[in-house]
Amino acid sequence: MVFDYTIMHWTTFLSAAVLLNLSPGPDMAFILGQTASNGRQGGFAAMFGVWSGAFIHVVMAAIGLSAILATSAIAFSCVKWIGAAYLVWLGIQALISRDSSFLSSGDSKETNMRSIYRQGVLVASLNPKVAIFFLAFLPQFVVEGAGPVNAQLFLHGSLIIVVAALIEPPLVLVGSRLISLLKSNRRIGLWMDRSLGTLFVILGIRLALSEKS
């Protein structure tokens, strides 16, 4: 039978998926940072973007492209530096902005949400450490005879995103509730943008200094 797993298999995998999604990292920092700067809509836009970027890694792992990043130092370095440069660029844009996106509204607000979504996709997809993690993590749950290997990798990778869909939205909602109390203060809005910009720069530097493991 296809995808015939034991209860122990699912218990182990889902426990690992929950711990994975609860652990702090660049993706979670990006989601919470956008929630702080742009409220609930910004947090959800960032979250959907990160999920989309993660799904790209799932597909790559399922068809074997992630192996290129794991074995090629040149490919890893290229993706790493592109991702780091993009994060630093986002940070600089937020640091030098004169108007707070935290207080934007109307059509510009809708446009901003689309921009945040695209940023989330790029932040997640341009992190080679995520690709290598999926390549190392997912094969541990491949069971001989349970189905095609690629299909099993795709299933378990997709379920990690499903688990994220149960964990991350409450964090965005709680964060947005706290931030909404300060929404009318323009100075605080600008401070949120500056903090978000600093966060992006730090994440970019951390990614640039990271090594393949």
| 148 backbone dihedrals φ, ψ, rounded to 5° | -55, 140
Question: CA 206, 207, 208 angle in degrees (round to 5)?
Answer: 90
Cβ count near 47 (within 10 Å): 26
Average predicted confidence (pLDDT) for the chain: 78
pLDDT in tens, 114-149: 889 998 998 888 877 677 777 777 877 888 888 888
Distance of CA 189 to the CA centre of its chain: 24
Residue bearing the bigger pLDDT, 212 or 175: 175
Write down the residue that tokens 């005879």 correspond to: 145
3-state DSSP assignment of residue 16: helix
pLDDT in tens, 24-81: 677 888 888 888 777 888 899 999 999 999 999 898 888 876 666 556 677 667 767 8
pLDDT at site 123: 85
Q: What is the pTM of this model?
A: 0.71
